[in-house]
Amino acid sequence: MKINIYYGGRGLIEDPTLDVMSKLTAVLEELRVQVTRYNLYEEKNAISMLPKTLKEADGVILAATVEWMGIGGLMQQFLDACWLYADKDKLGKLYMLPVVTASTYGEREAELTLIKGWELLGGIPCSGLCAYVEDHVEFETNTDYTLLIEKKAEEFYRMIHQKKKMLPTSNAAIKHSVLSNSSIVLTPQESEQLSVYVSDDTYVKKQKEDIEELTQLFKEMMENNNEGEGGQEFIKNLKDNFHPLDDFEASYVIQLPDMKKTLVVEINGKRLKCYYGDKPEADVIAKTTRAVMNKLVQGRITFQGAFMSGELTAKGNFKTLRTFDQVFQFNIL
């Protein structure tokens, strides 16, 4: 039989959880149980890899110390890693003994957190040990307390050895009905490999850099593509919906800052010239966005209407501005 202990405290000498773990270990080793302890404060850079250590275990002891509130960040990280990377089939067969001591209020709440967390992971939680410790020396030397700890170790051993069944809980039902679709669907081998990658800071940093580089590349490609397609569309629509007026001559410059382009429209009687470029002087100089220009060529807004609503700003000859809607009559798309 093999039992793993995962200790989420800081390893301080006065931490009574260390004493409880030592006494549990002594009893279990007398029963010929192989006990392996993992101090999470020593493994904090590789916590995501620890779920693979559950593969050969028959039971686990989750030991936490409440110093001000809750089970502590390291233990929470370990449980998160189990949710993401552990073999769920294996977890479903693992018995868990929660051990919590507190120098402040909240040892029972912390024990309940460990039990609820293990149930949601699919494991089998057992009745645990929790205690408020005011004086760690008195606690460690109290023979009655020692006897209770030793009896709990024996009970835990018997539960695993006899593979005792537990009554169903609502947490298990919630896991199957609500939370089953929220976890990453991976094989145990894929989960283990992913945990290795996640724990490798160099790999994660490189992946983030690659993602940012690809994101920027595709963003530039999309912007260039949209600008090109949008510009050709505007020119084509202007030419297709051109209705010349006799003896009408005018020039329009439409600045499109979000496209980083300027659309130039030159009208000379029945002749129309549209292009992207620079024209310092024009009868009307307007500024708007690609979205407004799209609405304009789709007939959903007029040039003057965009100006009146503030979606388009313009300066120059306002009679020429109003004539734009006579020269270009777009059909509503």
Could you tell me where the beta strands, DSSP code E, fall in 261-327? 261-268, 271-276, 284-287, 313-316
Residue 65: its pLDDT value, please?
97
The domain of 184 spans: 2-195
Q: Are residues 162 and 32 in the same domain?
A: yes
pLDDT, tens digit (0-9, with 9 covering 90-100), for 263-283: 999 999 999 999 999 988 999
Residues 183 and 236 in one domain: no
Instruction: Say whether both 33 and 164 belong to one domain.
Output: yes
Percent of the chain whose pLDDT exceeds 90:
71
User: Residue 203: its pLDDT value, please?
Assistant: 63
Q: Are 124 and 51 in a shared domain?
A: yes
pLDDT for 64-93, tens place per residue?
999 999 999 999 999 999 999 999 889 999
Q: Are residues 276 and 144 in the same domain?
A: no
CATH code at position 70: 3.40.50.360
Span 29-57, pLDDT tens digits: 999 999 999 999 999 888 999 999 999 99
Q: Give yes or no: residues 148 and 277 share one domain.
A: no
Q: Does the pLDDT at position 230 exceed 50?
A: no
DSSP 107-176: HHHHHHHHHHHHHHHT-EE---EEEE-S-HHHHHH-HHHHHHHHHHHHHHHHHHHHT------HHHHHII
Helices (H) and strands (E) in the chain, counts: 12, 11
Question: Is the residue at 209 inside a domain?
Answer: no
Express each pLDDT in 250-260 by its tens digit: 999 999 999 88
In a domain, 274, yes or no: yes
User: Rounded to whole angstroms, what are the CA distances from 280 to 234, 253, 311?
Assistant: 21, 9, 22
Boundary residue ending a domain (145, 172, 195): 195
Q: Which of 195, 214, 246 is a domain's end point?
A: 195
Q: What is the pLDDT of residue 185?
A: 59
Written as six digits, the tokens of 53 are 């250590």
145: which residues sit within 8 A by CB, 6+ positions away?
131, 139
